[in-house]
Amino acid sequence: MNIYDLLIHKEETILPLDKIHFNEHNKNALDQLLKEFKHVEALKRYNLPVDNKLLLYGHTGCGKTTTAKAIANAIGKKMMILDLGNIVSSKLGETAKNMTNVFRKADREKAVLFIDEFDYIGTLRDYDNKDSGEMKRLVNTIIQLIDYLPDTTLLIAATNHSRSIDTALLRRFQLKLKFELPDQNELDTFYDDILTKFPKSHRNVKRVYGISYAEAKDHMYKEMKKEIIKREESKGILVTQDHD
């Protein structure tokens, strides 16, 4: 299979890291990560490795993919997104070969390699007894690829189900950042940021809590569209009344 087919190619706006809402622990860990890549040569002089294996795990819709893209942008590296749907092959040994080719390309280009739904690999490993040997070989291949990943390349894996991932794989990640549902104060800050782009007269909309950032954004946009449409339609009613 062509290496191009194993990657996802999608152009979109990248949100800067300072515009993403993090808890204090994640913010400090990401600040340290960026500084290590900025001063990688100074660290090398003392044989200090850069933490270049990052696992983002936790609740869906809380910014894992957005964070990965923002990191790549912040350290000035090309981002490669692995398409797990295409990389898994029914042919014996082909999946491990595909994974190896993607890692090698990331190495050559000193890129950020992003693997979303990383648990998919662990799940497949035990999916069918007759394929368990093949899936174990795949996990072993990935472990070796991660172990020999040069510090000029950054691997970011994301999952909503970290418990289903092989523990040997999990140990390879120096940084593991948990993404949890935001509390009410964090959501209020998020809502306030969204509402700043709209007129004050449109900002009195219902707020919902106990949901993810992605869900909060969808909710706010839905409520805002209702508000704008309601106001636009009221203008038509007023114009009609003036003509009566």
What's phi and psi for 3, nearest 5 deg?
-60, -30
DSSP letter assigned to residue 96:
H
Are 127 and 164 in contact by the 8 Å Cβ rule? The answer is: no
* Residue 132: predicted pLDDT: 63
DSSP letter assigned to residue 10:
-
> For 13-58, what is each residue's pLDDT tens digit?
788 999 898 989 999 999 999 999 999 999 999 999 999 999 999 9
DSSP letter assigned to residue 129:
G
* Residue 4: predicted pLDDT: 64
Closest to 80 (Cα-Cα) out of 133, 149, 132: 149
* Residue 121: predicted pLDDT: 76
* Residue 28: predicted pLDDT: 97
What's the count of helices (H) and strands (E) in the chain, helices before strands? 10, 6
pLDDT under 50 in the chain at which residues? Answer: 239, 243
* Residue 14: predicted pLDDT: 85
> pTM (2 decimals)?
0.84
Q: How far is it, in rounded angstroms, from Cα 30 to Cα 163?
A: 23
